[in-house]
Structures are given as structure tokens and as C-alpha cells.
Amino acid sequence: SLELSKKAAAVKPSSTLAITAKAKELKAQGKDVVGFGAGEPDFNTPENICEAAIKAIKDGFTKYTPASGTNELKAAISKKFKEFNGLDYDTDQIVISNGGKHSLTNIFTALINPGDEVIIPAPFWLSYPEIVKLAGGVPVIVTTTKEQNFKLTAEALAAAVTDKTKALVLNTPNNPTGMLYTEEELRAIAKVAVEKDFYVVADEMYEMLVYGEQKHISIASLGKDIYDRTITCSGLAKSYAMTGWRIGYTGSSKEIAKMMGSVQSHQTSNPNSIAQKAAVEALTGPQDSVKKMHAEFDKRRKYMYKRICDMDLLDALEPMGAFYVFVDGSAVLGKSYKGTKIESVPQMADILINEYNTAIVPCADFGFPDCFRLSYAISIEQIEKGLDRIESFIKELA
Ligand code: PLP
């Protein structure tokens, strides 16, 4: 038979989506499943945002818009960049896409020539290497350490740079670790990017979900040289409980924005017109529901982190952003469960789903095979129940 695309064949299916699907399937069979896999807020999209979408439909705002998004939404995003991130992006530097994933696809399409390298610090969100490969690039994984709070250091970055390095992916707040980069760390990274001359893809999707004292900082806000080399990427999905609406956006140089707009104009045309109206309301309307969701996430975060710390064999760093706890399961490896030796985190995940109806996300596909991710984007009751089950499992180990 005729050979299919090597590039497409090299792409791995998303394992987080597979875990969510398995948990849903067991639920449909009537099992009392706790799913810690959720990569999305459990809240409904706030009412005012839904109303804006309904109004858009009734007003007939149901036609094509400009390919890179409406001027109205670009102006709202420009204002948000200014006020929230301290970043100046004019409307012609902004491209609105069908979700953050699509924005990232546009970015790498605009940056990469065949064989260009993209540095990705591990642990990483599992889609980065796949999107880079699809764009013809070569992911270069730089593994961080727990001692460095799973954050990339300027030294490790500099050591990974070659003459093929085109870009670095910098994700803060981080999925899966929940870590935030400090201004000092970002300045050191920016210095390397400027000196060695490569782009920084700053994925700030979780920027509004930051807890405690530490503030979210956009690397592009730290000076003109780094601003010129950064493409800042964010979206509405996580902050406004709008995962299904599919709105993401970028701020970049005009040149890159123009290229991404042209690419998008042929591949998908504009993002959904109705969702764009909803996004305007999300960004410019009342923010009280964001505050409420944030407060609820923070409560769950504290509870989950404490429970994990109190458990034998499990260990985690306190997450400062997003809605995940990144758990080190290495002390479980080598223990026995009912006579069977546990050799890997995926094996532990199988036991948890099959015997305890509890779904966790093993992080091999996030570049950290001995760790797993627990999402706290589920109710506190569910979190409590699921952690009780994990604790029972841990107590069974010999
Ligand atoms: N970036 C990170 C770090 C994410 O975790 C996600 C979603 O899981 C995205 C980007 C993409 O978000 P979306 O495509 O839903 O806007």
C-alpha cells in the first residue's frame, strides 16, 4: 500500500485524553470513579459570558470574521496584555486562534525550518514535542531537577544551545509542576536567549491561576531585547472555564503575527465568531466569577498538597499556579502490592484505576517517568475520596 505521512505517523496520541476517556468509560459502566486527570476547570462558563454568546447568535454575528480575529477582541486582548502582563502589543501584533494549542501550532509553523531545534525543559506539557515535530522541528529535551524546583536554569539552557537552536518553550505557571518562574530566573534565561539569539515561546496559559505571594511575570516584559524575541501565548480556556469555546491568542512582532495570520487564513480561517464575542465579554466584563473559581482552586490546592505530604512514600513540591500537583512516585517503585512488585508509575496507575477506581496521570509523556500528575479541577469531595483511596493503596504496599 502507499506510504502515509512519516511526520503524522511519528505523532503520539495524547495520553491524558486517553486516561480521561478510560475514566469516563468506567463511569458510564456505573463505577464510582474519581478522575484526577482533568485538564480543565470543572466550573461552567460564567453566565455573563454565555449570555454574550447567545446575544451574538441572535444578532446574527455568525459569519466569517477577519482570519486573525476581530478588531474588537484584539483591542480587548491588547488592553489585557497591557494591564495584566505589562506588555505593549498593538492589535496588529495579536493573532487570535482556535485555542492555545492552535496558537502554538501557528507559532512553530512560523518559526521552524526543517531540522531547527526547539529546547523544551522537562517536565513539559506533553503536546509541545509533538507540535514541534509536526512543524518539522526537533525537540531538544532538557531535564530539570527537583532541587531546582523543576525549573530550567540559565546554565542548563546555555549548555543545550547549538547552532540549530531556534527557540525555547517556557511555560509559567507550569503544567504539570505548578511552578512559577521568578523575575530573577526569567532575567537569567532572557539573557541567554538574547546573547545566543533564539526565540522564546512563552506559554502563559495559566497566568490567572496563581496562588500565594509569588506573582506571574511575563518574560517579554523584562526589556526590549527579550520582547523582540518572544512570542507570548495565552488563552481563555483555563482562566475563564472556556475550554470548549476554543479561543487562544498570541502577542508577537508584527512580522511574525502577519505570517501566523496568513497561515491561519488558509488552514482554519477565523476562530469561531460567537466564541470571539464571548471572549470580549470574558476579558472586559465583570471578573468576580474568575475570583470565585480562583478561591476554590486555592482551597483544593492547599488540601491536596497537605494530604500528599502527609502520605508515606509520596512527595511533592507546593504548586504555586495552574491546577495540578506533581507527585514524585519513585519511593513506591520496588514495593509490592498483594505480592506483585511495582516496577513503574504506569503500573501503579493501572492498579489505582482497576482496583481503586481512581485515575491519575503518569508523567512519562511529560518527560518524567517516575512522577504522576493529580488535577484539582474536581470538587473537594471528589479530591478527598480519591486521596483516601490512594492512601489505602499506599498502606497496602509492603
Ligand atoms: N498550554 C498548556 C500548558 C496547557 O496545559 C494547555 C491545555 O491543556 C494549553 C496550552 C492549550 O489550551 P487550549 O488549546 O485548550 O486553549
CATH number of the domain within which 322 lies: 3.90.1150.10
pLDDT of residue 174: 98
217, 250, 284: which is the final residue of a domain?
284
Pair (243, 375) in one structural domain: no
Q: How far is CA 58 from CA 51, 55, 70, 71, in A?
A: 10, 5, 18, 20
What's the rounded Cα separation, in Å, for the pair 174 and 186?
14
Instruction: Work out which ligand 1 atom sits closest to the CA atom of 203.
Output: 1
Q: 205 CA to middle of ligand 1, Å?
A: 6
Question: Do residues 266 and 347 both lie within one domain?
Answer: no
Q: How far is the CA of 203 from the centre of ligand 1 (A)?
A: 9
The atom number, within ligand 1, closest to the CA of 102 reads: 14
- Is 15 inside any structural domain? yes
pLDDT at 15 over 80: no
Q: Are residues 212 and 99 in the same domain?
A: yes
- Mutational pocket test of ligand 1: of 128, 205, 365, the residue with most ligand atoms within 8 Å of the beta carbon: 205
Residues 38, 69, single domain; the answer is no
Distance in Å, CA 100 to ligand 1 centroid: 5
Q: Kindly list the protein residues whose Cβ atom lies closer than 6 A to any atom of ligand 1.
A: 39, 99-101, 125, 171, 175, 203, 205, 235, 237, 243, 248
Q: Is pLDDT above 90 for 85?
A: yes
In a domain, 56, yes or no: no
Of all residues in the chain, the percent with pLDDT exceeding 70 is 100
- Partnered with residue 336 across adjacent β-strands are 341
Q: Quote the pLDDT of residue 23.
A: 86
> Checking phi first, is residue 93 left (phi over 0); if not, alpha (psi -120 to 50) or beta?
alpha
Does 52 map to a domain?
A: no
| Residue 285 pLDDT exceeds 80 | yes
Digit-coded pLDDT (tens) for 141-183: 999 999 999 999 999 999 999 999 999 999 999 999 999 999 9
Mean pLDDT of the chain: 96
Segment 188-204 shows an average pLDDT of 98
User: Are 280 and 303 found together in one domain?
Assistant: no
Neighbours of 360 (CB within 10 A): 26
Q: Are residues 301 and 267 in the same domain?
A: no
Q: How confident is the model at residue 253 (pLDDT cuts 50, 70, 90)?
A: very high
pLDDT digits (tens, 9 = 90+) for 115-137: 999 999 999 999 999 999 999 99
Question: Residue 250 in contact with residue 103, Cβ under 8 Å?
Answer: yes
Domains: count for the chain = 2
SS3 content of the chain, % helix, strand, coil (to 5): 45, 15, 35
Q: Enter the pTM of the model.
A: 0.96
Assess whether pLDDT exceeds 80 at residue 17: no
Residues 212 and 275 in one domain: yes
- pLDDT attached to residue 83: 98
Closest ligand 1 atom to residue 171 Cα is 3
Average pLDDT over residues 71-93: 98
Domain of 331, in residue numbers: 6-44+289-396
Same domain as 232, residue 145: yes
Ligand 1 center to 239 CA (angstroms)? 11
Q: What separation, in Å, do the N-terminal and C-terminal C-alpha atoms of the chain show?
A: 52
